A and B are shown apart, each in its own frame.
Chain A
Amino acid sequence: MNSTLQQQSQHQIQSLRSVLNQVLVGKENVVELVLACLLARGHLLMEDLPGLGKTTLAKAIASAVSADFARIQCTPDLLPSDVTGFSMFNQKSREFEFHRGPVFSDILLADETHHASHTKRAVRSDGRTASEIDMLAAAVGQRQFETKAIGPVLNLRQLQRLQQEVAAVNVCTEVQRYLVRLAEYTRCHSRIHLGISPRGLLIWQSLAQAKAFLDDRQFVSPEDVQQMAVPVLSVRLFGEFDATEAMVADVLQSTPVPV
């Protein structure tokens, strides 16, 4: 990549990081993971006690990237039309008019998903019930741009360019094989009932690319893969109750790194 463009991208990333760290003080690691998820075009599942800044962080992201923000309060009687929108009959025009739901926003926060019914809830794969689970969907680039400025650091077009740069971060064959070996190990681990899927593996690779990009590198190293292991695998491994992190550590320690 052009070095000037790379410097510009890193400057934008640093600005975004600074803004988010000012909003959510003392959680630099969380902000890094959120940024990685945003750049990897992923969905973010945040689990924490009430009042510790999950909604604030979501709003801050939306403001920082000049994105539309919408929030769904997940309740037991939540219906699909509450998310997608609905068609209402206009008596004047005598036609049905579609009213967009919150899913048509750039940044969508599904708050307190543990209150929603099972069909709509983002349930942890290991069956845990958290005190509060929020689902943040960064749907940037999936709709027309509406650059509404709310103290922005980036606009959506710039964010989309950053996401394209992240997708272009190189993953060498050795690292890809390392990822495959890790995935294979999760599938034959005695304490893991169902290992990571191919889609999960691709998401893991994307997050590793984002991590490398956040560290100002244009290539992924095994360290990136390892650092993204817990965030990716903790919601994707079906195994023993409350032992996900131990299982992930076991998977990492049992798989040799390339070189």
Chain B
Amino acid sequence: MAQGIRQRCQLDPERTIRSEGECSQDVVQSFLMDQRSGPDYLFAIATARLLRQLGYHVQVVSGFYAQPQNYHPVARQTAVYPEDIHFWVEVQTDQGVAVIVDACPGYEVLSAELSGWQKAVAYVQSLVRWTMANHTVLLAMLAALALIIWLRQRVYVGLLALWWAWPGKRTNRTLVRWTLTLLDARCRLHKHIRPQHCPVESWLDRLIEATPSDNGHDLRVFRGLVQWALYSPNTTAIDSHEVRRICRQSLRTLSRPRFASAPIAISAPQQ
């Protein structure tokens, strides 16, 4: 009922019931049927009248409304001002408990403070309700997440490849490092994981040996570039186009299908 009044009428603190011509009419009837707007006491009176018609013991109560926006989190207090005076309705139950009913829009009735367990139960209930309401979207999201987790390495390699091909400005050193990271990810995808004790040069040597191709020279140059990028402080200018070409050629030669088809044995470092 309170919700119906809220939807039907609007709060207008300045508006009053006109006396002339309308005095003969019932105030509540005028508020609910004609004006459909008014201050909070009209909402309270209308609610009380309707509830009494339904047989409830009702009283109209006035007091101050603690506005939530006036709550001070540090002081943990709510400031109350003269304009916060408000009217609402209390319904007396048979057990002697007064139940507050406030049909005025913009005013909320505070519920009793819940215990920790009650809060937990309420959270779970709301979660279940939300899950039931959005189960299709949720299932789709879970399926997508599971797919991503299952294919995470492929996704990672794909993202790295996209990032590598991104036409942003990079230094030669950064480009070579990203190329190496992409190669490493490809190897991991096909279970050719580089041992932690294996220097990157030895690892590249074995990759090159395991993947015979016509681009052996470029691969050797790439190996030297990797050494330079990782361990040399020298920033001598190298033609960036040539570096990009060698990196691209190395990625093509040491491609994923090649890793998948050719097993690569990576053993302990040779002494």
List 5 contacting pairs A-B, 8 Å CB cutoff, sorted by A: A218-B234, A219-B234, A230-B271, A253-B195, A257-B196
A223 located at the interface, meaning its Cβ lies under 8 Å from any Cβ of chain B in the complex: yes
B227 located at the interface, meaning its Cβ lies under 8 Å from any Cβ of chain A in the complex: yes
Kindly name the residue among A252, A254, A258, A259 whose own CB sees the greatest number of chain B CB atoms within 10 A: A259
Q: Given contact pairs A219-B232, A252-B197, A253-B197, enumerate 14 new A-B contacts (beta carbons under 8 Å).
A: A170-B231, A170-B232, A218-B232, A219-B228, A219-B231, A219-B234, A221-B230, A222-B199, A222-B200, A245-B271, A248-B271, A249-B271, A256-B197, A257-B200
Inter-chain CA distance A259–B180, complex, in Å, is: 10
Kindly name the residue among A221, A227, A230 whose own CB sees the greatest number of chain B CB atoms within 10 A: A221
Query: Which positions 225-246 of chain B face chain A at CB distance < 8 Å?
Result: 227-228, 230-234
B84 located at the interface, meaning its Cβ lies under 8 Å from any Cβ of chain A in the complex: no
B162 neighbours in A (Cβ, 8 Å): none
Contact with B along A144-188 (1 / 0, CB 8 A): 000000000000000000000000001010110000000000000
Kindly name the residue among B196, B199, B230, B232 whose own CB sees the greatest number of chain A CB atoms within 10 A: B199
Using A221-B199, A223-B202 as known contacts, say yes or no to A252 and B231 having CB atoms under 8 A apart.
Answer: no
B268 located at the interface, meaning its Cβ lies under 8 Å from any Cβ of chain A in the complex: yes
A174 touches B268 (CB 8 A): no
Inter-chain CA distance A229–B270, complex, in Å, is: 11
Residue of B nearest to A215 (CB): B227
A176: shortest Cβ distance to chain B, in Å?
Answer: 11
A55 located at the interface, meaning its Cβ lies under 8 Å from any Cβ of chain B in the complex: no
B271 touches A220 (CB 8 A): no
A255 located at the interface, meaning its Cβ lies under 8 Å from any Cβ of chain B in the complex: yes
B109 located at the interface, meaning its Cβ lies under 8 Å from any Cβ of chain A in the complex: no
Using A249-B268, A253-B268 as known contacts, say yes or no to A226 and B231 having CB atoms under 8 A apart.
Answer: no
B232 neighbours in A (Cβ, 8 Å): 170, 172, 217-219
Residue from B195, B200, B268, B269 within 8 A of A259 (CB atoms) = B200
A126: shortest Cβ distance to chain B, in Å?
Answer: 17
Give how many A-B residue pairs fall within 8 Å (CB-CB): 61
Residue of A nearest to B268 (CB): A253
Inter-chain CA distance A230–B271, complex, in Å, is: 7
Residue from B198, B228, B233, B271 within 8 A of A257 (CB atoms) = B198
10 A-B pairs with least C-beta separation: A256-B196, A223-B199, A219-B232, A222-B199, A253-B197, A219-B231, A223-B201, A221-B231, A226-B269, A257-B199
Inter-chain CA distance A87–B65, complex, in Å, is: 113
B interface bracket (residues with beta carbon within 8 Å of A): 10 to 19
B268: shortest Cβ distance to chain A, in Å?
Answer: 6
A255 neighbours in B (Cβ, 8 Å): 197
A220 neighbours in B (Cβ, 8 Å): 231
A218 neighbours in B (Cβ, 8 Å): 232, 234
Residue from B197, B228, B231 within 8 A of A174 (CB atoms) = B231
A242: shortest Cβ distance to chain B, in Å?
Answer: 16
B268 touches A221 (CB 8 A): no
B197: shortest Cβ distance to chain A, in Å?
Answer: 5
A73: shortest Cβ distance to chain B, in Å?
Answer: 33
Residue from A226, A230, A249 within 8 A of B199 (CB atoms) = A226
A172 touches B271 (CB 8 A): no
B202: shortest Cβ distance to chain A, in Å?
Answer: 6
Using A223-B201, A253-B197 as known contacts, say yes or no to A217 and B269 having CB atoms under 8 A apart.
Answer: no
A252 neighbours in B (Cβ, 8 Å): 197, 268-269
A175 touches B231 (CB 8 A): yes
A178: shortest Cβ distance to chain B, in Å?
Answer: 10
A172 neighbours in B (Cβ, 8 Å): 231-233
Residue from B196, B201, B227 within 8 A of A219 (CB atoms) = B227
B202 neighbours in A (Cβ, 8 Å): 223
A253 neighbours in B (Cβ, 8 Å): 195, 197, 268-269
Contact with A along B191-220 (1 / 0, CB 8 A): 000011111111000000000000000000
Inter-chain CA distance A249–B267, complex, in Å, is: 12
B220: shortest Cβ distance to chain A, in Å?
Answer: 13
Using A227-B271, A230-B271 as known contacts, say yes or no to A259 and B230 having CB atoms under 8 A apart.
Answer: yes
B185: shortest Cβ distance to chain A, in Å?
Answer: 14
Inter-chain CA distance A189–B78, complex, in Å, is: 66
Contact with B along A47-69 (1 / 0, CB 8 A): 00000000000000000000000
A249 neighbours in B (Cβ, 8 Å): 268, 271
